A and B are shown apart, each in its own frame.
Chain A
Amino acid sequence: MLRVMSRRGDDRVTWDEQKVQAGDPEATAAVREAERIFAQERAKGATAFRVEPGKPTQRIEQFDPTAEQIVMVPRVVGG
């Protein structure tokens, strides 16, 4: 799942990894859409984190369709 923080809460794109492996067109389209959003948000300065229960949070630079959950946060500045 890709979760992108915004003023609307968070926008989500979900996909089933097993269906992607099996070549399901809907799941594949969802992954492509998530990848596109990931690249778009990164270009705006967002930071991406791989967040999985029981594992340390990891900052990622590249989209990873095998990640259970990717959370993207907008660029931050000193206040």
Chain B
Amino acid sequence: MSFITQVLTALGWIVVALAISPMVWLILQPYFKGWSRAERRAADLLRDTLTPEQFRQLVWRGYLEVPSPTEPQRVYRVPRTKGYIQVIENGRAVMRLCVQPVECLPDADVVVLHKLMIEANEEGYLQKANKYVCID
């Protein structure tokens, strides 16, 4: 094989690699995202804020239950990733809430945000939330 053929083959492979790299990145991006610096810092704050039981619940069930400080029969179910917060009263979902920070935050920070707001500022939290009543 001549030198020119080898160079052309190498160039061909480079072009193929460049062409598929955006697709590969799109596929792998969610996995890398979990290890970004921001996500790691947010995960640290989450671990510092939750009890071990709460952290286990979030990891295994995909949500965190935050008891209402004012209504003993009410809990707020905060999802691990973006989504509605379910309001559970006496074991039944009665409402969904949509509340979001004005600034884009890592998912773990958003969980902490909901927990803190519910525990220490429930009234303000409910005032700001858009509410969707669940009808059986």
- Chain A's closest residue to B127 (CB) is A78
Q: B42 and A10: CB pair below 8 A?
A: yes
A9 within 8 A of B: yes
- Residues of chain B within 8 A (CB-CB) of A51 are 49, 116
Return B117 CB to nearest CB of chain A, in Å.
Answer: 7
- Known: A3-B45, A9-B109. Contact between A79 and B120, CB under 8 A? no
B37 on the A face (CB < 8 A): yes
Residues of B within 8 A of A49 (CB): 116, 120
Question: Interface size on A (CB < 8 Å)?
Answer: 24
Instruction: Say yes or no: A75 contacts B102, CB within 8 Å.
Output: yes
**A58→B42 CA distance, assembly (Å):** 20
Interface residue tally for chain B (C-beta within 8 Å) = 34
Kindly provide the distance from the CB of B35 to the nearest chain A CB, expressed in whole angstroms: 12
Q: Are B99 and A77 in contact (CB under 8 A)?
A: yes
A59 to B117, CA, bound (A): 8
Task: Give the most central of A8, A9, A59, A78: most B CB within 10 Å.
Answer: A9
Cα–Cα distance between A10 and B103 once the two chains are bound (Å): 12
User: Given the known A-B contacts A76-B113, A79-B130, are A7 and B105 also in contact in the complex, defined by CB atoms under 8 Å?
Assistant: yes
| Complex-state Cα separation, A49 to B118, whole angstroms | 11
- CB within 8 A of A10: which of B45, B69, B116? B45
A69–B39 Cα distance when bound, in Å, is 20
| Given A74-B105, A76-B101: A8 and B41 interface contact (C-beta under 8 Å) | yes
Knowing A76-B113, A77-B99 touch, does A9 contact B106 (C-beta < 8 A)?
A: yes
Given contacts A47-B121, A76-B128, contact A9 B101 (CB under 8 A): no
Residues on A lying within 8 angstroms of B by beta carbon are 3, 5-10, 45, 47, 49, 51, 56-59, 69, 71, 73-79
- List, sorted by A's number, 11 A–B pairs whose CB atoms are closer than 8 Å: A5-B113, A9-B40, A9-B45, A10-B41, A47-B121, A71-B116, A73-B101, A74-B101, A77-B99, A78-B98, A78-B129
